Amino acid sequence: MQQTIIILLLLFTLTSCKKEKKPATVSQTKEININYAKGFKIFYYDTYKKIEVTSPWPEFDRKFTYILINKEAELPKETEYDAIIEIPVQKLVVTSTTHIPAIEALGVENALVGFPDTRYISSMKTRKNITEGKIKELGSNENINTEILVSLKPDMVVGFSINNANKTYETIKNSGIPVVYNGDWVEKTPLGKAEWIKFFAPFFNKEKEADSIFSEIEKEYLEAKKLASYAKEKPAVLSGAMFKDIWYLPAGDSWAATLFKDANAKYLWSDTEGTGSLSLSFESVLNKAKDADFWIGTSQHVSYNQLDDSNVHYSQFKAYQNKTAYTFSSTKGLTGGLLFYELAPNRPDLVLKDIIHILHPDILPDYQPYFYKPLE
For residue 182, which of 345, 47, 363 has the smallest C-alpha distance?
345
Note the CATH architecture for domain 28-216: 3-Layer(aba) Sandwich (3.40)
Domains 28-216 and 230-374 share a fold: yes
Predicted pLDDT at 78: 59
Is residue 98 within 8 A of residue 184, CB to CB? The reply is: yes
Residue predicted with more confidence, 185 or 10? 185
Predicted pLDDT at 3: 36
Percent of the chain scored above 70 by pLDDT? 91
Note the CATH architecture for domain 230-374: 3-Layer(aba) Sandwich (3.40)
- At residue 231, φ and ψ (nearest 5 deg) are -65, 140
Residue 79, pLDDT > 80, answer: no
Average pLDDT, the chain: 90
Domain ranges for the chain: 28-216, 230-374
**Rounded mean pLDDT, 132-142:** 92
Residue 331, pLDDT > 50, answer: yes
User: Looking at 71-75, 128-132, 355-359, which range is the least confident one?
Assistant: 71-75
**Rounded mean pLDDT, 188-202:** 97
User: Looking at 23-37, 175-189, 202-216, which range is the least confident one?
Assistant: 23-37
Question: How many other β-carbons are positioned within 10 Å of the β-carbon of residue 179?
Answer: 22
User: Looking at 160-174, 185-199, 240-254, 353-367, which range is the least confident one?
Assistant: 160-174
**Rounded mean pLDDT, 188-214:** 97
